[in-house]
Structure 1
Amino acid sequence: MAALLGAPVLLVALVLSIVLAVTVGPADLSAGEVWGSILHHLGFGTSDLSVLRDGIVWELRLPRVLTAAAVGAGLAVSGAVMQALTRNPLADPYLLGLSAGASLGAVLVLLLGVAISLTVAAFSGAMLALLGTLLLARSLGVITPSRTVLAGLAVSSFAGALTSLVIFWNTQGDSYRQILNWLLGSLAGADWGSVKVAWLTLLLVGVPVILGGRVLDAFAFGDTAAAALGVHVTRTRWLLLAGTALLTGAMVSVSGSIGFVGLVLPNAVRLVVGSRHRLLLPLSALLGAILMVWVDTGARSLFEPRELPVGIITVLVGAPVFMLVLLRNRERA
């Protein structure tokens, strides 16, 4: 019952986190002013902020915070699904080579000037990496979780090597910093286009995956048990893999490669609420969103005027928290 009540509490915490995170920064903004600006742009009432301060809220900070929330939720859900499908607690959203493929696509745009947007290039790279992983796994015979993992590792290593080669051969001057920020994860360039990509994918792909938590419970005991429970194993696995790939690819395309969230957060939630995915998935999504909002806020504000890549903060903050969760739940770990 406590776990069921946790979702509404976390939803309220997420809304409050979004508003409070927008207030953080050099401009002195209050939560009331942020609410006023949001309601004004939604067609309710007027805003007392100047044009400049209203632009800081609506054009700069709010799109970034909303993108961060969607990315955190999407990566957490993707990680939980991958761990269920592969029956491997060390699986993460990037297991199928998605991150490496997205990184290769982004680096080609940043360094070689390929005439497409960074978001499109990163998403295309992620999808091509997924296709390569699945084709390789299929060439080995019947697609199984272990073959898929091995194929993903091979494709990820190959794409990573190509990325390193392109960087080594073409990088000059300060372009290293721009590439490094993307490879370690950054939401500095988030705008309303990023919000649309992240939230539409989360709503159209992530929500149906979350609602299918009972199906994932069936996979916990293996394919035979899942089939006995009435699950069409092959079709369901393909649908979930495709959904997870689309979700991860969209998130990586707007944020870069942010590690830790999809790997550790579902495991931390599992230690607290158990392995029932009808609870695990929504709670992971909400906690992932809250975590990413505050991690990104810290990345842009703790060391002003310098901004840290988000991926560094996720590990520095998340690893100690996960250690504490492990210690407090040592009997269940």
Structure 2
Amino acid sequence: MTATLPREYAAPTRIIVGPARRPAARTAIASVVLSVALVASALVAIGFGPASITPSEVAATIWAHVTGGERVLSATADAIVWQLRVPRVLTAALVGGGLALCGAVMQALTRNPLADPYLLGLSSGASTGAVIVLVLGVSVALPGAAFAGAMLALILTFTIGRAGGGTSSTSLILAGLAVSAVLSALTSLVIFWSATNDSYREILGWLLGSIAGAQWPDVLLVAVVMSACAVPLLGSARTLDGLGLGDSAATALGIPVQRMRLALFACCALLTGALVAVSGAIGFVGLILPHATRAIVGVRHRALLPTTMLVGALFLLWADTIARTAFDPRELPVGIVTALIGGPVFAILISRLRRSRR
């Protein structure tokens, strides 16, 4: 049996609930290839930079720190690898995987192929919190303030959404747009009123999305939140397949629609808030990559969600590597790189949707 969504959603994502599906072997092969590529890319990317280090030396250094063995590099090179580059590469992979996963889930929950992880106003809330502490000159508190701002936006969105129509996708999206507009205006007001010189440059760099300052505490924060939120999201594959058929069909299948939608929205919001707290609002990762992954493994979420995570991790790892090395000694915010890649792809996606409506 084949069930299709309304035409606005059908072009990029067609849900199959029967024997007509991608072979499981293809999904397994894609997962293995992507996993190997991710590990190899991490070893290569860590070695990139003014102090060039071979992948074998990188692997030996990481192994020495994990096992407590003897160093294979000089003290300076060892510090560059372990204290600077490894946390940054791990953060990029975790943020990319998390954003891509949240994007795939949000597109399924809203039945909207243009949905992304920032749909509920989280990036605007995080930006407000981050800008306030940067203006006050306490940048050490930036991750905490950004996360608090994202959670404030989440609470406001759910409060307004429930008052306006329960937990339906439409009411939450509209509430998120309203909260995002207000918090963006507040952020602009703070910048206009208080930011000067160095603080303005620091604010601009964070708003554009950057992993330049990633350290081990950032890796720990993202890893903990990923462990708490990604597991239920990955386990929601059958629910998302059912919700894609419409609320009535999902209810007939025994899915508690409102409760599951609320829980999945909350998981996405918490995970996105933590990711934005350490990286800023990096655009297009959660919007574009789920569509690219569907072309590889199909649209069933059991295969789509974990593969999307791997694709997102691989993409942002290399985007950040390009951002920090392409114009050495100057460094671009990684959000610029993702926008330069994602913008044209987004335009192609819109064109494809327009053709599907004809």
Partner-residue secondary structure (3-state), 2:190: helix
RMSD: 2.2
Distance 1:34 1:4 in 2: 28
Distance 2:215 2:177 in 1: 32
Checking the alignment, whether the CA contact within 8 Å between 1:184 and 1:311 is kept in structure 2 is yes
Query: 2:179 aligns to what?
Result: 155
Runs of 4+ in 1 over 3 A off after TM superposition: 113-116, 318-333
Checking the alignment, whether the CA contact within 8 Å between 2:167 and 2:258 is kept in structure 1 is no
Partner-residue secondary structure (3-state), 1:209: helix
Checking the alignment, whether the CA contact within 8 Å between 1:69 and 1:293 is kept in structure 2 is yes
Counterpart mapping for 1:1-333 below 5 A: 1-43=25-67, 45-113=69-137, 117-320=141-344
Checking the alignment, whether the CA contact within 8 Å between 1:268 and 1:322 is kept in structure 2 is no
TM-score normalised over the length of structure 1:
0.95
Query: 2:19 aligns to what?
Result: none
Distance 1:86 1:325 in 2: 17
- The C-alpha deviation readout for 1:286-328, integer Å capped at 9, x for no partner, is 0000000000011011001111111110021234466789999
* Sequence identity (%): 55
| 1:329, distance to aligned residue in structure 2 (A) | 12
Distance 1:311 1:95 in 2: 17
Distance 2:296 2:353 in 1: 8
| 1:140, distance to aligned residue in structure 2 (A) | 1.1
Worse-matched range after superposition: 117-126 or 1-10:
1-10
Distance 1:21 1:88 in 2: 34
| 1:117, distance to aligned residue in structure 2 (A) | 1.2
Partner-residue secondary structure (3-state), 2:51: coil
Gaps of 5+ in 1: none
| 1:222, distance to aligned residue in structure 2 (A) | 1.3
Checking the alignment, whether the CA contact within 8 Å between 1:36 and 1:46 is kept in structure 2 is no
Gaps of 5+ in 2: 1-24
| 1:116, distance to aligned residue in structure 2 (A) | 7.1
Checking the alignment, whether the CA contact within 8 Å between 2:126 and 2:277 is kept in structure 1 is yes
Paired AA for residue 158 in structure 1: V
Worse-matched range after superposition: 309-318 or 240-249:
309-318
Alpha-carbon spacing, 1:328–1:40, altered in 2? closer, same or farther (3 Å):
farther
Partner-residue secondary structure (3-state), 2:165: coil
